Amino acid sequence: MAEVYLAQKLGDEGFAKWVAIKAILPHLANEERFIKMFLAEARIAARIDHPNVCSVTDFGQRDGTYYLAMEFLHGQPLAGVIRRARNFKGIPVKLTARIIAEAARGLHAAHEVRRDDGTLAEVVHRDVSPQNIFILYSGSTKVVDFGIARSNEAIAERTATGMLKGKVAYMAPEQIRGVALDRRVDVFALGIILWELLTGRRLFKRENDVGSGFAVLEAPIVAPSTVRPGMPVVFDHIVLRALARDRNQRYPHALDLARDLEAALANNGVVAGIEEVGELMAELFAGEIEERQEQLRMFANTPIEDTPLLAMPAVDVTTDPSAELSRAATKIPVPMGQSDLRPAPIVAPPTSSQQFFTERQPTQHENQAATDRRRGSLALLLLVPFVSIACAVIAVVLLLPYLRTIIERRVVEVQVREVRVYADAGISVTDARRVVIAHTVPVTAPTPPQPPTVTPPRPPAHPTFVRNGFLTLMATPQADVFEGSRRLGRTPLTDFQLRPGQHALRMVAGNGLPPQTVNIEIRPGGTTIRRIRWESNE
C-alpha cells in the first residue's frame, strides 16, 4: 500500500542523516481504509523504542500524501538472505538462533507498548514473516512493517468479517479461525520461521491459501531433528513449544522464546552474536554492500535540485512474498555440528573489512576451475557403469576355474556319502557307485529291514522380529483415541507406534457428539495417515 524512498534529513552546520520515506501510494491516498491503516501504523511504530525494531522519526502529510520518516536500514530482508544463502552453505543453525532471538526481542518490545495511562496497548504484529524481518549488514536484526498491526487503540481499523490479514502460511490457528488474538500469534509465526530455517523446508505452504490454512490447522508438525538428522534436540523442544496449536501451551511471551534460544547457545559454549551474523552478511552480499555505499556517496554529493526521485529497490512488492522462501530454501541449512558445540577459539580480527570481503570472492580463474571440476566429475560418473561391468566380467573369468573345482568337489562328496549309505544297506560298492553315477539304474538287491527311525526333537524356533508401524491420526474436532481400555492420546497423533494388523480405535470428542469406531490397518514399518471428520449417528 506504500512505496519507500531514500532521503536525507538535513540540519545546520552540514548535518545530514539518511532516512527512509514511506509514502502511501497515490491511487490509495483517497481510500479511507488504507489511510486508517497507515495512521495506525504511525501511531504504533512511534511508541516502540527498541534496537530490534525499525524506528519512526517523523510523520506528516504533504500535498495530500501521508508519509512516515523511518530509520534507514542498510541491509536485506530475511527472505533475501535465505535466497542468497542457497548458493552457499545455507544459514548456520547458531546464526538462525541468533536472528530469531533478536526478532523475538523486537516483537516483545512491541507487545509491551503502553498507552498514556500506563495500560498495555495490546499490540499484535499479525504479519511476522521472512519479508518483515530485516538483517542489517552489520548483523543486527530489525522487525519492520507494522502496517496491519492491531492494538486496542486502533478502534477505527478492524478486520472485516471473513477477511484475513497477513500471509496464511505464517498465521496461527486462532488467526485463521477468526477468534480474538493476542501476542502469542506472533510467537507462533516466529516458530514457523525458525522451523523452516532449521530444516530448509516450508512448513504450511501449499498450492493455495485454502490448502495452507488447512495445513496450519491440521497438518502434522514434526520435530526439526526428524527432518534434519544431527540437529541438537534442544531446538526440537523450543520449536515445538513455539508451534503449539493450543496457545495456552505456547510461549506466553516472545521474550521467553528469545531467552531459550540464547540459553541453548550459551549452554553449548557457542559464540553467535551480531558480529558473526555480520560476517555472514559480508560473505553473502559483499558486492551489494560496496555498490550501496557508492550510491550513497553519489547521492550525498549531488545537489538536491538535480537529484532524481529514487525508490529503494530492496523489496519487489509485485511478487508473491510467501513464495520467496520456498524458492530460496533449496539448500539445506548447515546443522550445528561438533565444531559448533565447542567454544570458539579467540582469533585476531581481519586487518580490514575490505580484506575480508576480497578474500571471500572467487576469482574468474577459480570459477573456471570449479566448472572444469564439475565437468570432470560428470565424465567420471558416466564411466562408472562401464568400469563396473568390466570388473565384473574379469572377476567371473578369474574365478571360473576355482568355482568349477568347488562344484566338482561337491559332487564327489555327495557321491561318497551316497556310496556309504548303499554299502550300509548291503549293496556292493561297485553297484552303489553305478547307482550314484547312472541315477537311472534300478537297485534290485533286497533291502534288509530298517530299525525304527527316531525323529530328534526340533529345536525351538527363534522368535521372529516384527517391525511396528506408525499412525498419524487427525480429527475434526479433536478427540481422545482409545484401543480397548487403553488411551492412546488426543488428536492430532503423529507417528504413533502400533503393532502391525487391524486396529479398532474408538474416538471420543465430547460436546454431545457420539463416539466413533474407526478400523485402521497398520503395515510393518509403514506409516498410515488418516483424517477423520466427525459424523453424527442421527
* Residue-level pLDDT at 82: 92
- Lowest mean pLDDT segment, chosen from 5-19, 29-43, 319-333, 473-487: 319-333
Contact 175, 219 (CB under 8 A): no
Share of the chain above pLDDT 90, in %: 28
- In this predicted model, which residue has the larger pLDDT, 303 or 129? 129
Is the pLDDT at 307 greater than 60? The verdict is no
Residues whose CB falls within 8 Å of the CB of residue 42, separated by 6 or more in sequence, listed in order = 56, 59, 66, 68
What is the mean predicted confidence (pLDDT) over 114-125? 87
User: Is residue 88 in some structural domain?
Assistant: yes
Q: Read off the pLDDT band of 263 (50, 70, 90).
A: very high
Residues 487-537: tens digit of each pLDDT: 888 888 877 888 898 999 988 887 778 888 889 898 887 788 888 877 644
Same domain for 337 and 283? yes
CB 61 within 8 A of CB 262: no
C-alpha cell of residue 483 = 484401543
Instruction: For 432-492, list the strands marked E by DSSP.
Output: 469-476, 480-483, 486-490
Mean pLDDT along residues 177-200: 93
In terms of domains, do 120 and 161 share one? Answer: yes
Helices 274-284 and 286-300: crossing angle in degrees, nearest 10, is: 90
198 shares its domain with 294: yes
Residue 208 sits in the same domain as residue 292: yes
pLDDT of 492 reads: 81
Same domain, 389 and 338: no
Q: Residue 525, Cα to own-chain centre: how many angstroms?
A: 25
Give the pLDDT of residue 256: 96
Higher pLDDT, 213 or 1: 213
| Rounded distance between C-alpha atoms, residue 182 and residue 209, angstroms | 22
Q: How far apart are the first and last CA of the chain?
A: 50
Quick count: other Cβ atoms within 10 Å of Cβ 90? Answer: 21
Sign of the alpha-carbon torsion through 110, 115, 121, 123: negative
Count of structural domains, the chain: 3
Residue 206 pairs in a beta bridge with none
Q: What is the model's pLDDT at position 164?
A: 55
Q: What is the grid cell recorded at 274?
A: 551480531
Q: Is residue 264 part of a domain?
A: yes
pLDDT beyond 60 at 538? no
* Active site residues per annotation: 127
In a domain, 247, yes or no: yes
**Helices 184-199, 233-242: crossing angle, 10 deg rounding:** 140
Query: Same domain, yes or no, for 64 and 140?
Result: yes
Cα 235 to Cα 101: distance, rounded to the nearest angstrom: 13
**Domain check: are 291 and 424 in the same one?**
no
Tell me, yes or no, whether 291 lies in a domain. Answer: yes
* CB neighbour list of residue 455: distance below 8 Å, 6 or more residues apart: none
Instruction: Give yes or no: residues 409 and 484 share one domain.
Output: no
Using DSSP's 3-state secondary structure scheme, residue 46 falls into helix
Q: What is the mean pLDDT of residues 428-447?
A: 44
More confident site: 221 or 352: 221
CATH number at residue 8: 1.10.510.10
Residues in the chain: 538
Average pLDDT, the chain: 75
Q: Is the pLDDT of residue 295 over 60?
A: yes
Share of the chain above pLDDT 70, in %: 68
Q: Say if CB 45 and CB 123 are below 8 A apart.
A: no
pLDDT at 142 over 90: yes
Specify which residues 503 forms β-bridges with: 520
Q: What residue spans of 200-245 are helical by DSSP H?
A: 209-218, 224-227, 233-242
Residue 266 lies inside a defined structural domain of this protein:
yes
Residue 150: the pLDDT is 64
Residues 300 and 392 placed together within one structural domain of the fold = no
Question: What DSSP state is assigned to residue 150?
Answer: B
- Evaluate if residue 344 carries a pLDDT over 90: no
Q: Clarify whether residues 260 and 151 are in a common domain.
A: yes
pLDDT band of 343, cuts 50, 70, 90: very low
270 CB-near residues (< 8 Å, 6+ apart): 94, 336, 340, 341, 343, 344
pLDDT computed for residue 470 by the predictor: 82
Cis peptide before 492, with omega less than 30 degrees from 0? yes
Cell numbers for 400, please give them.
571360473
Domain of residue 138 covers 2-311+322-345
What mean pLDDT is predicted for residues 145-157? Answer: 55
Comparing 272-281, 360-369, 397-406, the range with the smallest average pLDDT is: 360-369
From CA 110, how far away is CA 88, in angstroms rounded?
34
Mean pLDDT within 148-152: 58
The predicted model gives 74-81 an average pLDDT of 93
pLDDT of residue 446: 53
In a domain? residue 270: yes
Does a structural domain hold residue 263?
yes
pLDDT in tens, 381-436: 666 677 778 777 787 777 777 666 665 555 444 444 444 444 444 444 444 444 44
**Phi, psi (degrees; rounded to nearest 5) at 69:** -100, 120
Kindly tell me if the per-residue pLDDT of 483 is higher than 70.
yes
Give, in order, the Cα–Cα distances in Å from 112 to each of 39, 254, 256.
20, 10, 13
Mean pLDDT for the stretch of residues 136-142 = 94
Is the pLDDT at 74 greater than 70? The verdict is yes
3-state secondary structure 295-310: HHHHHHCCCHHHCCCC
Q: Does one domain contain both 473 and 421?
A: no
Give the orientation angle of helix 364-424 with respect to helix 429-438, to 10 degrees.
140
Non-local CB neighbours of 431 within 8 Å, separated by 6+ positions: 422, 443, 445
Indicate whether 340 and 480 sit together in one domain. no
Q: What's residue 319's pLDDT?
A: 38
What's the Cα-to-Cα distance from 247 to each of 18, 151, 172, 184, rounded to whole Å? 41, 19, 9, 7
C-alpha cell at position 212: 495452507
pLDDT band at 26 (very low <50, low <70, confident <90, very high): confident
Per-residue pLDDT at 535: 60
3-state secondary structure of 463: coil
For residue 407, being part of any structural domain is answered with yes
- Is the pTM of the predicted complex or chain greater than 0.85? no
Q: Is the pLDDT of residue 339 over 50?
A: no
Q: What is the pLDDT of residues 236-260, one digit of tens each?
A: 999 999 999 999 999 999 999 999 9
SS3 66: strand
